[in-house]
Amino acid sequence: MTKLTGKVALVSGSGRGIGRSIALKLAREGAKVVVNDLDAEPGDAVVAEIRAAGGEAVAVNGSVVESGFADRFVGAAMETFGGLDIIVNNAGYTWDSTIQKMTDEQFQAMLDVHLVAPFRILRAASEPIRILAKKEAEAGQEIFRKVVNISSIAGLYGNAGQASYSSAKASLIGLTRTMCKEWGRYKVNVNCVAFGLINTRLTQPIEAQQKTIDVAGRDIKVGVQPQLLDAMARMIPLGRGGTPEEAADAVYLFCSPESNYISGQVVVCGGGILM
């Protein structure tokens, strides 16, 4: 048996990049996964990949910031798989500007996707978790559940040009530590992984024609200047950016039974980088 056999996991933003690797990792360890992506095609593709490997998965695609999304997401876990054991709040993107150029819309968009959406998902999960934990306690069982919120070294140390993103990711750490205290009585471990440089489409080198992604009809520029990537790599003791699979491994640590007495913590997955 694998370590997560019988567990039910929600992974937001799991159609691409780090989220996809997290969903596949949890599925390989036996979890039934509720996949989510802003766009249906990549979300459905990850579900198909999990099923082809013999796992169980269902997709709840759409924007995590939409009204009602959190209830649909949590509801899918309960209705399809009959439980909820792991929540990974991973969905997000960056929309950068120096503060004098940053609009209210930019700042609020980062708060919405990186802080408000995780808050709503956890709020929607609170009643099912309370009911399940009460039944288990009455039966004399000690069953642990896991929440892993995804932050960033920008949330720990700040980053020029990312006032909105850094603020949201820092606030998510505060939410993590609060939920650790609120949900401890339900045997829920609530932890946070703060990523350093992970090689995804959002951190690819900017070439002559900068790439964009479509988020709710907005063309958001993605990528990092090659000189900055080189400078960041030199700051990383392990000498390179991480892979999405390595990022997923860090999240898995907090989903495994070995973390049953660890809660309220932030671990940096960044190859040893210390800002």
Instruction: Return the DSSP state at 112.
Output: I
> Given the structure tokens 């992604």, which residue do they identify?
213
Instruction: Return the DSSP state at 116.
Output: I
- Give the DSSP H/E element, type plus range, for residue 145: strand 145-152
Catalytic, 165? Answer yes
Instruction: Tell me how far apart the alpha carbons of residues 171 and 252 are, in angstroms, rounded to a whole number.
Output: 22
Nearest alpha carbon to residue 60 among 36, 40, 42, 41:
36
* Residues β-bridged to residue 215: 218
Give the count of alpha carbons within 13 A of 207, CB side only.
5
Instruction: Tell me how far apart the alpha carbons of residues 222 and 116 are, in angstroms, rounded to a whole number.
Output: 22
Query: 153, 100 in Cβ contact below 8 A?
Result: no
Give the count of alpha carbons within 13 A of 45, CB side only.
14
Instruction: Tell me how far apart the alpha carbons of residues 253 and 185 are, in angstroms, rounded to a whole number.
Output: 21
**C-alpha pair distances (Å), 207 with each of 29, 227, 234:** 38, 11, 20
Instruction: Tell me how far apart the alpha carbons of residues 39 and 36 are, in angstroms, rounded to a whole number.
Output: 8
The catalytically annotated residue of 165, 186, 252, 261 is 165
Nearest alpha carbon to residue 267 among 204, 183, 202, 190:
190
* Count of residues in the chain: 275
User: Catalytic residue numbers?
Assistant: 165
